[in-house]
Structure 1
Amino acid sequence: MSTRNFEDAIDKLNSLQSNFAAIEASKASGGRMVQFAKHETIEYLGRIGYSPEDLNRLNVIHVTGTKGKGSTCAFVDSLLRSSDPERKIGLFTSPHLVSVRERIRINGIPISEEDFVRFFYEVWDRLEANDNRKYESTPAKPMYFKYLNLVAYHAFLTMKVDTAILEVGIGGEYDSTNIVPKPIVTGVTSLGLDHVATLGGTLAKIAWQKGGIYKTGVPAYTVPQPAEALEVLRERAEEKQSSFFQVVDIPSELDTVRLGIEGVHQRQNAALALHLVDTYLKAQRGAEIDKPSLELPLKPEYARGLEKARWPGRCQAVHDPIDPKSTWYLDGAHTVESLAACAEWFTTPNVGLRDGPLRVLIFNCTHGRSGAALLRAFREAAQQKLQAHHSTLTTDTLFDHVMFCTNVTYSDGTFKGEFLQKGLDQADLDQLKTQTELANAWLELCPSFSREKVHVLPSIQHAVKLAHHLRETWEKPVDVLVTGSLLLVGGLIEVANLTKVALDM
């Protein structure tokens, strides 16, 4: 008889991951395999005792996009809690940084290990007991993300949340979060080409997918987009018969608010969140919502909500609790656009350009992403910012050392259970192929950078140890920018013992 503790639940959850071959097959399909996600989720939902209509009781705020959707959801969550402290709010996001429990939050706090185990096994047991499948192609159990999505639905319904904020995984139209018949309000954050490899097609295709979350009679928001994407979103809102379609501008009043999530680009996410929450609260009070009506100046509770918002691992500065002279700058920026935003954030006087410290970069990107393009975007944005600040630094001299490591957690080649990745190319990992390519790309972009200060490392723990060694050797404060893969950022938080200060867990 197997035990049913948190570690056992994680083992079972990891068994639902796609392996490398399956991920490559999905990419090769041009996104066709993604199209099964929605109807499979409805089938699984029925097998655990719910219908899509049951999800309407969650009063959903639904958010998708290429970048900024997690931050937008964090702003929405904080705004709601500030506006109505008595409201019970569920938040479902992905991925997690340190613990899978982060993906399912109640009133801003990850659910406990006990609750996670309870809801995880209740879903597991119901699927085991009811194997009646409508489609022969449907697996007995859903894959990793869809399973956690089911656990979130079950947890939110069981705990009777008043509001559920759902962040789309990938896409929109076919995403497993997109089975709620009648959300209260929907929003699309900034779009880019990062998901083309997964979803297939052009930016217009991406916009078509994202616009799939719009619903009949439901307000549809977005932020300024490239022309081709905006036109498709507008058409999708009309096709879905949304109650209205609105492109959100950044109100000047945001200039007086110190956002709890750093980065100039967060102003756009905050503006979208404001409209989503304002529309949502008015709808909850029974008002007819046929056009956007955000009132200015901002209500005090809105300003407080924006100031108190937190989204760990994104433009976050963390002082090392053991070595106060070391500061970790964490930003899980994994797209060209977000890497440029990361560079803009770091290359400012009150962040990465302060005098005195040794500056170190730790970077990785997951297999299949163009590391050279990501580094180029970072370099170009950093150079522009350095010039704007009339800094004597260049991109060749901004960092004293750069490290390219894998997402493997520990130096013995093992992962923490909640970081295990079955979708890795083992040959790439063993040969450090991606990391070597990144190092070569860096040296090509920064030709005067010393080769001796470019490090290719097999694990996150190796990188942390080297950063500590540099601190001890130079006897100077060390500022370490950790960016690229969110898995890298989460792993470093774990290895460097930053969980309590970075995630307040």
Structure 2
Amino acid sequence: MTTGTRTYQDAIVSLNTLQSNAAALEALRNQPKTTDTSLSESVEFLRRIGYQQSDLNRLNVIHITGTKGKGSACAFTDSILRHAVPSWTVGLYTSPHLVSVRERIRINGVPLSEEEFTKYFYEVWDRLEENPPAPYEPRMPMYFRYMTLVAFHTFFSLKVDATILEVGIGGLNDITNIVPEPIATGVTSLGIDHVGVLGHTLGEIARHKGGIYKEGVPAFTVAQPVEGLEVLRGMAKERKASEFSVLQPIEALRSIKLGLPGIHQLSNATMAVSLCHTFLKRKAPPTIEIADEPTSLSPAFIAGLENARWPGRCQQVVDPVREKIRWFLDGAHTNESLRCCVDWYVSPDVGLRAMTRPKRVLIFNCTKGRSGSEFLGTILEHISQQLRLYGSQQLQDAEGTLPHGAFFDHVIFCANVTYANGSFKGDLTSTILKDEADQLATQKEIAAAWASLVPGFPASNIHVLPSIEHAVKVVRDLETKVDGGDVDVLVTGSLHLVGGTIEVAGLAEVAL
């Protein structure tokens, strides 16, 4: 698709010349724990593309952060607002993307088209080129900051009625935090698995997350560990939030089939309901009646919750070409989220749904620096718990209950490289650190850990592969050897792995 002579592919190439998210995260791990100048730089970038910081208030922002569940909370929030006021134009900005960078900017639930993305991308690019920076200021922002500017410009151009912004990293110094006065702010779960990942304590993480609280703006959080909760409470007071609310799960949600499966979604749905209730109390047209309490769920709220979609999170799709293959996609990448993934997958409605046992394949990877051995241990231990909980005939062999290690027939540990020739889909290039793509050391370590954790697992069924395309080929070769049976494939450990699988396996039409 073109804008003038410039195409969507040109935009992706230009975008990938900027510092990647993965590189930014690596730099964040290594930098001193001091307040940086990113917010002032972000305001300057905004000025260079033609907007003042105060203009952002016109976007009517709901701002959401957290270490777990923030994306799901954004998806619920977006869906509720669209169902509550169908005439509105609702903008949603999230990260990372699974397959196409266009997924990060959605209008009424739909990613920008290639034409739209190219148009807004180059309008921002050209404005930055035409308005040079002050001395010692960077000429171009890094990848995530640039994408946020494109999102802001898109939402201004399309005159959205409401905007849901998901924080990229942290909160306090994130570019999304330059919005002076959002309508409401929320912090989802402070997952304890993230403590230490950036060299921070839970209190320090909470302080960064609570940095999105603003003077005169309602501040919400779900229940948190004591240390984190007290820091958030202090941040709300320090930043003069109009109120600070610790949300308990709304009981009425338990009787609703949420569009995003898993018991852990109750917390995220509760956050979304509370944010939307606050937002609509202030911004809804007079013809829309809003309940006095958020716990009184209207039909529109229920429809929004039931119809929420968030690709790559506890998602199952049937392969559009190989109908015997069913893909189970979850980008879980912490111990906590992997336990939630197993809770979802190893259950009667999902992975244990069949009367006859399918062939099961695990495709797994984790980013460098995370403990693959620990993650696999979490998966195996939780599978055992689920099998004891749901012990059924299909889980037993002649010796008794099937051991957790035999739950999968094949395990595949592959790099996040998209294609077998070592190349990446352009939209996915920025998500991979180069040293992770150059060798298979991490995948070999994970495979060795599996062999140690599951003694007797056939070595021939443990696959270490250099690309996602290789992994998909193993699955499809296996499917041709299954005589009339089904093949279930659980893909987890990394959102980038899930996104690459959707791309290579041709699942975009049914998954995104």
Q: Which category describes the TM-score, using the shorter chain as reference length? A: over 0.9
Identical residues among aligned pairs (%): 56
State the match for 2:146 in structure 1: 147
Amino acid aligned to 2:58: R
State the match for 2:323 in structure 1: 324
* 2:82 paired with 1:53: no
State the match for 2:379 in structure 1: 378
Matches within 5 A, 1:159-198: 159-196=158-195
Give the RMSD, CA atoms, in angstroms: 2.0
Amino acid aligned to 2:145: K
* 2:429 paired with 1:420: yes
State the match for 1:131 in structure 2: 132
Matches within 5 A, 1:44-123: 44-123=45-124
State the match for 2:437 in structure 1: 429
In the aligned structure 2, how far is the partner of 1:251 from the partner of 1:413?
Answer: 48
Q: Which runs of 5+ in 1 are unaligned?
A: none
Task: Say if 1:367 and 1:425, in contact at 8 Å, map to a contact too.
Answer: no
State TM-score, norm by structure 2. Answer: 0.93
In the aligned structure 1, how far is the partner of 2:333 from the partner of 2:211?
Answer: 24
State the match for 1:463 in structure 2: 471
In the aligned structure 2, how far is the partner of 1:449 from the partner of 1:55?
Answer: 56
How far has the Cα of 1:337 moved from its partner?
1.2
In the aligned structure 1, how far is the partner of 2:323 from the partner of 2:19?
Answer: 38
* 2:275 paired with 1:276: yes
In the aligned structure 2, how far is the partner of 1:71 from the partner of 1:53?
Answer: 28
Describe the superposition over 1:380-431 as per-residue Cα deviations: whole angstroms up to 9, x where unpaired.
22222222213533321111110000111111111111011375243x5333
Q: Which runs of 5+ in 2 are unaligned?
A: 393-400
Distance 1:403 1:72, change over 3 A: same
- Which secondary structure state, in structure 1, belongs to the residue aligned with residue 367 of structure 2? coil
Task: Say if 1:27 and 1:197, in contact at 8 Å, map to a contact too.
Answer: no
State the match for 1:36 in structure 2: 37
Describe the superposition over 1:220-244 as per-residue Cα deviations: whole angstroms up to 9, x where unpaired.
1111111111111111111111111
Amino acid aligned to 2:448: N
Distance 1:70 1:382, change over 3 A: same
Task: Say if 1:63 and 1:69, in contact at 8 Å, map to a contact too.
Answer: yes
In the aligned structure 2, how far is the partner of 1:6 from the partner of 1:185?
Answer: 34
How far has the Cα of 1:494 moved from its partner?
0.8
Distance 1:356 1:489, change over 3 A: same
In the aligned structure 2, how far is the partner of 1:383 from the partner of 1:298?
Answer: 37
Task: Say if 2:83 and 2:300, in contact at 8 Å, map to a contact too.
Answer: yes
* 2:414 paired with 1:405: yes
How far has the Cα of 1:52 moved from its partner?
1.1
Distance 1:30 1:403, change over 3 A: farther
In the aligned structure 2, how far is the partner of 1:227 from the partner of 1:374?
Answer: 25
Distance 1:167 1:65, change over 3 A: same
- Which secondary structure state, in structure 1, belongs to the residue aligned with residue 141 of structure 2? coil
- Which secondary structure state, in structure 2, belongs to the residue aligned with residue 177 of structure 1? helix
In the aligned structure 1, how far is the partner of 2:24 from the partner of 2:274?
Answer: 39
Amino acid aligned to 2:243: F
In the aligned structure 2, how far is the partner of 1:293 from the partner of 1:334?
Answer: 38
In the aligned structure 2, how far is the partner of 1:274 from the partner of 1:187?
Answer: 11
How far has the Cα of 1:445 moved from its partner?
2.3
- Which secondary structure state, in structure 2, belongs to the residue aligned with residue 280 of structure 1? helix
In the aligned structure 1, how far is the partner of 2:229 from the partner of 2:303?
Answer: 31
How far has the Cα of 1:356 moved from its partner?
2.3
In the aligned structure 1, how far is the partner of 2:216 from the partner of 2:83?
Answer: 27
How far has the Cα of 1:132 moved from its partner?
2.9
Distance 1:171 1:24, change over 3 A: closer
- Which secondary structure state, in structure 1, belongs to the residue aligned with residue 168 of structure 2? coil
* 2:345 paired with 1:346: yes
Amino acid aligned to 2:491: V
Task: Say if 2:217 and 2:242, in contact at 8 Å, map to a contact too.
Answer: yes
Task: Say if 1:170 and 1:195, in contact at 8 Å, map to a contact too.
Answer: no
Task: Say if 1:199 and 1:206, in contact at 8 Å, map to a contact too.
Answer: no
Amino acid aligned to 1:15: T
Amino acid aligned to 2:508: T
Task: Say if 1:214 and 1:220, in contact at 8 Å, map to a contact too.
Answer: yes
Aligned residue pair count: 494
Amino acid aligned to 2:366: C
State TM-score, norm by structure 1. Answer: 0.94
Distance 1:20 1:389, change over 3 A: closer
